[in-house]
Structure formats: structure tokens, C-alpha cells
Amino acid sequence: MNSRNSRNPKNLLHNIKTRTARVGIIGLGYVGLPLVIEFVKAGFPVTGFDTDPGKVAMLKKGKSYIKHIQLSAINKQPSADFTPTTDFSQLQIMDCILICVPTPLNRNREPDMSYVFNTTEMIAKYLRKRQLIVLESTTYPGTTDEDMRRILEEAGLKAGKDFYLAFSPEREDPNNRDFNLRTTPKVIGGYTQKCLAHAKALYGTIIDRTVPVSSTRAAEAAKLLENIYRAVNIALVNELKMLFDKMDIDIWEVIEAAKTKPFGFQAFYPGPGLGGHCIPIDPFYLTWKARQYDFATRFIELAGEINTAMPDFVVTKAVQALNDHGKPVKGSRILILGLAYKANVDDDRESPSYRLIEKLESMGAKVRYNDPYIPVIRKTREFPQFAGRRSVPVSGRYDLILVATAHDAYRAIDFASFGVPVVDTRNVIKEKLRYCYQA
């Protein structure tokens, strides 16, 4: 069905239906790469854009730089049409452009929209009639229909009339065994009904179920609600973990008991702090936007305070464990198990492990890490000083072991044989250990 002869330069819906629409995906990371794979599998010609020449070089060789995202589905498809590039002038020949760039916070915990707006300005340079532009990056309500639209329309074309504009938030959950990109419903909001129709048609080719909403703002707000819901509930169990610790009650046992109720309860689990690109960051996009309406988002801000304080609680536990064994923090050798923010992935974005390393080293500890998924620490925006450090073997040659990530590999370790105190933040250690501290 994908034939150059069936392409109609004046009918984007027809080109989407016949898989002749040229799809451009900007940002080839945890969100962009899965989209590349699905659109190529669906038969579209796909161009991937990224500013990192190293990533593009690897992709040109058919290799992925993200462990749990493999390009086998593309490499095994003889007719696959995927071109990774750093040449953004190719945007002018794209029919559909999906933006999958970071939306971090700056040092003041305010939205850093430079990636989105710089990308939008780049698209505006090459914008032409009948193109579909979709933002997938999580952001505050009003980003798409106000800020992006203003930038795109500066050249004279009008959204909804000359080109199509939409927002459809990513819902990636790395290494989720139950849901993937295709089986996770896709929320879509268009600037106009025509914009919505074009975006819905495009995503309908790779997603089992699309969920259209009334506007881009509603779609932006829906994504924020999803992550705020999780952030608030994680903060709740984190706070209860600290309380129950004082009461000598096992929070993990309490959660297991509570979740047997078949209605009215959903289990959330505590940890050493929040990680990943979404939950630690996205709620503050709404907090920032709410200030423009003279509204205080008290739940969000309180949840943020609790969650960001969790590394301090863990460090206090580590100090207690060392003290119980007659050792000061200064000079102690500490091994942190897990650098990834989530089990069994190589995603270290916003990982609380970095905070733990920073805090413990500031107290004079000698900290090493082990992570089977991250053999070498890559340069990050917040912790560039750790770049180049390498994972070390797990052993009992340390004064303290701190479990920060629930990798399956750690569940098979015989911690008792090490004879050193262990601080477990993820309930990885099930057997009774004399020197195991829950944190």
C-alpha cells in the first residue's frame, strides 16, 4: 500500500492512510525511539532528528544506545525506511513532525522550555502548508495553543487553516511488561477539530486506542494529572514509611495487607526519592503555571517537599547503621546498589542514587556503585562530576551496602555472607538479616 505513486501532496489524510506521509521525529531518546520503531513497522518512511551526532551514528549502524529499546524490528524488516540525521533542514520535506524533547526544570525548579521552544523555532524556519506538528513532551496547559502556535505562525501560516497543530503526551513506562506503546491508550488534543482529525488519523495507525479530548490544554492537563496523582500518593507512602519506622512497623507489610482490599485502594510503594523524567518534574510545571492565576497548589508542593527529602532520610539510616557498627561516615567505604531510577532498565534520569552519592561523599564517605545496566555513568545535566565512574563488583569489601534500586539481580545476592550492614530502600532483601536496615 505504501507506494510513491499513491502519494497526494495536497491531501495529508490520504497520505497517512496510504502510509506515504513522511514522519519526522525530533528527539531520539526514550520517547522518540519507540515511536520510530512503531511508525517504521507500520510502513511509513521515518526520519529521526537529533542534535547528538554520536546517537545518530549508532542508529545509522542499526544499534540502539538504550538497552531495553532494540531496533531488531527495524533491522529485520527489508522494506524499513528509517533515516537518522542531525540535518534539521530535512524538516521541510516532512509531512508529520513529532516533538519528543526534554522538558526539565531549571535551578529554581521552574520549567525550562528551551528545548521545546528552540525546536519549535527550528520547525518554523521550514514550516509549509499541510504539515502536522505534534508536541509529545510533558508541559503546562497553554504551551501548544499559545506559545508554540505563536512561534509557528510568525512566518504567516495559520494553525488549523494552513497547518495542523496538536498535543499528544507520551506515556512511556520503560520495561513495562504489561503495556507498550501500541497497547497504551493515546490521549490527543487538537488546536481545532481538523487538527485533531489529522493527529488522530496518524496515531491510529500505530496505537490500538486513541482518546480524543476537546483541546490541547485538556490533553496537557491530563498528562499532568497522571503524574501528579502518582507523585502525591508516593509522597503519602514515603511519609508513612518515616512515621512507621519510628513506630517499629514494617511499611511493606502494611502495604501488602492493605492492597488485598479489592476496591478503593491502589498500592504505591516508598523509595529513596523520586526518579525518572516525569514524576519528579512534571507536577512543578502546573505549580508554575498556577501562579499566573494566583493559585497555590498545596498538595503538589507538599508532595514535592516530602519526596525530595527522602534521600536525607536514607542517609540518616546509613549513618545509624555505621554508628551501630562503631564506624564514622567519614572514611567509610559505601557501595550503592543501583544507579537506575527503576528496576531492570538503564534509565538514570533524575535518579535519587545521585543525590545519595553526593550527600554521602559530602560527609567524607568513599562511595562506589554497582549497576548491571549502567556500566559507566554518562554525563548528566545535574551531576556532570560523576561522569566516567564505573560500576564495580558486588562484594563484602565495604563498610556498608545501600540498596537503591530493585534490580532482579540483587534479589539473588546472599547479603548475609558479606557480614556488613545493609540499608534496603526497596524491600529487596526478604530473608531475615541481623544487620538489615529498612529505609
Q: Give the tens place of pLDDT for each residue, 317-363.
A: 999 999 999 999 999 999 999 999 999 999 999 999 999 999 999 99
79-129 pLDDT per residue, tens: 789 999 999 999 999 999 999 999 998 888 889 999 999 999 999 999 999
Any domain includes 220: no
Residue 28 in grid coordinates? 531520539
Q: What is the mean pLDDT of residues 201-214?
A: 98
Residue 79 shares a structural domain with residue 168: yes
| Given 96, 100, 195, 278, the catalytic residue | 278
Same domain? For 284 and 210 the reply is no
Q: Is residue 144 part of a domain?
A: yes
The gap between the terminal CA atoms of the chain, to the nearest Å, is: 57
For residue 301, pLDDT beyond 60: yes
pLDDT at residue 337 in the model: 98
222 domain residue, yes or no: no
Say if residue 51 is in the same domain as residue 182: yes
CA neighbor of 283 nearest in space, from 40, 109, 430: 109
- Name the one residue in this structure whose C-alpha cell is 489529522: 198
Note whether 196 and 306 are same-domain residues: no
Given 190, 214, 238, the domain boundary residue is 214
Grid cell listed for 138: 510533558
Any idea what the Cα angle at residue 236 is, between residues 409 and 174, rounded to 5°? Answer: 40
Under DSSP, is residue 68 helix (H, G, I), strand (E, B) or coil? coil
| One domain, residues 199 and 318 | no
Q: Give the pLDDT confidence score for residue 12 in this predicted structure.
A: 97
Grid cell of 415 as nine digits:
547479603
Tally Cβ neighbours within 10 Å of residue 330.
10
- Radius of gyration from C-alpha coordinates of the chain: 24
Same domain, 234 and 210: no
**Does any domain span residue 119?**
yes
Q: Is-contact 368 333, C-beta < 8 A?
A: yes
278 labelled catalytic: yes
Residues 425 and 304 in one domain: yes
Q: Provide the residue range defining the domain that includes 250.
A: 230-438
Residue 196 shares a structural domain with residue 319: no
Note the pLDDT of residue 4: 59
CATH number of the domain residue 284 falls in: 3.40.50.720
Task: Please identify, among 214, 243, 267, the residue that sits at the C-terminal boundary of a domain.
Answer: 214
Query: In this model, does residue 418 exceed pLDDT 60?
Result: yes
Give the model's pLDDT for residue 176: 83
Q: Say whether both 208 and 260 belong to one domain.
A: no
